[in-house]
Chain A
Amino acid sequence: MSTINPVLDKETEEAQRYYSASQWQLVWWRFKKHRVALLGGLVLLFMFLSGLFAEFIGPYGGSTRNIEYLLGPPQIPRFWDENGFSLRPFVYGVTTERDPETLALIPITDTNVRNYIFFFIEGEPYKLLGIIESNIHLFGVQEGFVHLFGTDSLGQDLFSRVLIGTRTSLSIGVLGVLISFFLALFIGGVAGYAGGWLDYGIQRFTEIIRVIPIIPLYMGLAAAFPRDWSSTQVYFAMTLIIGLVGWPTLARRIRGQLLTLRNEDYVMAARLSGASPYRIISLHMLPAFMSYIVVDLVISFPYVILAETALSFIGLGLRPPSISWGVLLQDAQNIRAIEQAPWLFIPAAFVVVAVLAFTILGDGVRDAADPYSVH
Chain B
Amino acid sequence: MIRFVIERFFGMFVTMFFVSIMVFIIMELPPGDYADRYAFRKFSGTGVTVTESDLDNIRAELGLDRPAYQRYFSWIGGILFRFDFGDAFAYETSVNNVLGQRLGLTLAILFSTLIITYLVAIPVGIYAAVHRHSAADYGLTIFSYLGLALPNFLLALILLYISVKYLGSSVGGLFSAEYQDAPWSIAKFVDLLKHLMVPAIVLAWSATAFQIQTVRATMSDEINKLSVTAARARGIPERRLLFKYPARLAINPVVSTMGFDVNRIFSELPIVALVLGLAELGELLIQSYLDLDMFVAGAILLLLTFIIVFMNFLSDIALSFLDPRIKLKG
Binding site for B on A (CB under 8 A): 204, 207-217, 219-224, 226, 302, 306, 309-310, 313-316, 329, 332-333, 335, 338-339, 342, 345, 348, 351-353, 355-356, 359-360
Q: A216-B301, A332-B157, A342-B161 are in contact. Are A355 and B268 (CB under 8 A)?
A: no
Which residues of A lie under 8 Å from residue B289 when comparing CB positions?
A: 219-220, 222-223, 316
The answer to whether B270 touches A219, judged by C-beta atoms less than 8 angstroms apart, is yes
Taken together as a complex, chains A and B put the C-alpha atoms of A166 and B153 apart, in Å, by 19
Binding site for A on B (CB under 8 A): 15, 18-19, 22-23, 26, 29-31, 145-146, 148-151, 153-154, 157, 160-161, 164-165, 170, 172, 259, 263-264, 266-271, 274-275, 282, 285-286, 289-290, 292, 297, 300-301, 304-305, 308-309, 312
Which residues of A lie under 8 Å from residue B30 when comparing CB positions?
A: 223-224
Q: A216-B270, A216-B301, A313-B271 are in contact. Are A223 and B290 (CB under 8 A)?
A: yes
- Identify the 8 closest CB pairs spanning chains A and B, nearest first: A224-B29, A356-B149, A223-B289, A220-B26, A213-B266, A213-B267, A355-B149, A215-B267
The answer to whether A211 touches B19, judged by C-beta atoms less than 8 angstroms apart, is yes
The answer to whether A211 touches B285, judged by C-beta atoms less than 8 angstroms apart, is no
Which residues of A lie under 8 Å from residue B285 when comparing CB positions?
A: 216, 219
Which residues of B lie under 8 Å from residue A217 when comparing CB positions?
A: 26, 301
Chain A interface helix/strand/loop/mixed? helix
The answer to whether A310 touches B263, judged by C-beta atoms less than 8 angstroms apart, is no
**What is the distance, in angstroms, from B58's C-beta to the closest C-beta of chain A?**
21
Which residues of A lie under 8 Å from residue B309 when comparing CB positions?
A: 211
**What is the distance, in angstroms, from A78's C-beta to the closest C-beta of chain B?**
26
User: Which residue of chain A has its CB nearest to the CB of B171?
Assistant: A335
The answer to whether B151 touches A338, judged by C-beta atoms less than 8 angstroms apart, is no
Which residues of B lie under 8 Å from residue A216 when comparing CB positions?
A: 266-267, 270, 282, 285, 300-301, 304
Which residues of A lie under 8 Å from residue B305 when comparing CB positions?
A: 211-213
Taken together as a complex, chains A and B put the C-alpha atoms of A42 and B30 apart, in Å, by 41
User: Which residue of chain B has its CB nearest to the CB of A226?
Assistant: B31
Taken together as a complex, chains A and B put the C-alpha atoms of A169 and B189 apart, in Å, by 42
Taken together as a complex, chains A and B put the C-alpha atoms of A207 and B309 apart, in Å, by 11
Which residues of B lie under 8 Å from residue A302 when comparing CB positions?
A: 148-149
Q: Which one of A208, A224, A348, A351 lies within 8 Å of B22 (CB-CB)?
A: A208
Q: A213-B263, A223-B29 are in contact. List 7 more A-B contacts (CB 8 A).
A: A215-B268, A220-B289, A221-B29, A335-B161, A339-B165, A352-B154, A356-B146
The answer to whether B151 touches A309, judged by C-beta atoms less than 8 angstroms apart, is yes
- The CB with the most chain B CB atoms within 10 A, among A208, A221, A226, A342, is that of A208
Which residues of B lie under 8 Å from residue A213 when comparing CB positions?
A: 263-264, 266-267, 269, 304-305, 308
**What is the distance, in angstroms, from A344's C-beta to the closest C-beta of chain B?**
10
Taken together as a complex, chains A and B put the C-alpha atoms of A359 and B210 apart, in Å, by 13
**What is the distance, in angstroms, from A200's C-beta to the closest C-beta of chain B?**
13
A–B Cβ pairs within 8 angstroms, 11 of them: A207-B18, A212-B22, A217-B26, A223-B297, A302-B149, A310-B153, A313-B153, A314-B274, A315-B290, A351-B151, A352-B149
Which residues of A lie under 8 Å from residue B15 when comparing CB positions?
A: 207-208, 211
User: Which residue of chain A has its CB nearest to the CB of B165?
Assistant: A339
Which residues of A lie under 8 Å from residue B31 when comparing CB positions?
A: 224, 226
User: Which residue of chain B has its CB nearest to the CB of A220?
Assistant: B26
User: Which residue of chain A has its CB nearest to the CB of B27?
Assistant: A220
**What is the distance, in angstroms, from B258's C-beta to the closest C-beta of chain A?**
13
Q: A313-B271, A314-B286, A351-B151 are in contact. Are A220 and B29 (CB under 8 A)?
A: yes
Which residues of B lie under 8 Å from residue A329 when comparing CB positions?
A: 154
Which residues of B lie under 8 Å from residue A332 when comparing CB positions?
A: 157
Which residues of A lie under 8 Å from residue B312 when comparing CB positions?
A: 211
Q: A212-B305, A223-B297 are in contact. Are A355 and B157 (CB under 8 A)?
A: no
Taken together as a complex, chains A and B put the C-alpha atoms of A294 and B269 apart, in Å, by 30
User: Which residue of chain A has its CB nearest to the CB of B28?
Assistant: A224
Which residues of A lie under 8 Å from residue B264 when comparing CB positions?
A: 213
Which residues of A lie under 8 Å from residue B290 when comparing CB positions?
A: 223, 315-316
- The CB with the most chain B CB atoms within 10 A, among A210, A216, A314, A348, is that of A216
Taken together as a complex, chains A and B put the C-alpha atoms of A352 and B148 apart, in Å, by 9
**What is the distance, in angstroms, from B249's C-beta to the closest C-beta of chain A?**
25
Which residues of B lie under 8 Å from residue A219 when comparing CB positions?
A: 270, 285-286, 289
Taken together as a complex, chains A and B put the C-alpha atoms of A179 and B161 apart, in Å, by 38
User: Which residue of chain B has its CB nearest to the CB of A306?
Assistant: B151
Q: A212-B301, A223-B290 are in contact. Are A360 and B271 (CB under 8 A)?
A: no
**What is the distance, in angstroms, from B83's C-beta to the closest C-beta of chain A?**
21
Which residues of B lie under 8 Å from residue A348 when comparing CB positions?
A: 154, 157
**What is the distance, in angstroms, from B292's C-beta to the closest C-beta of chain A?**
7
Taken together as a complex, chains A and B put the C-alpha atoms of A240 and B317 apart, in Å, by 38
Q: A212-B301, A316-B290 are in contact. Are A359 and B267 (CB under 8 A)?
A: no
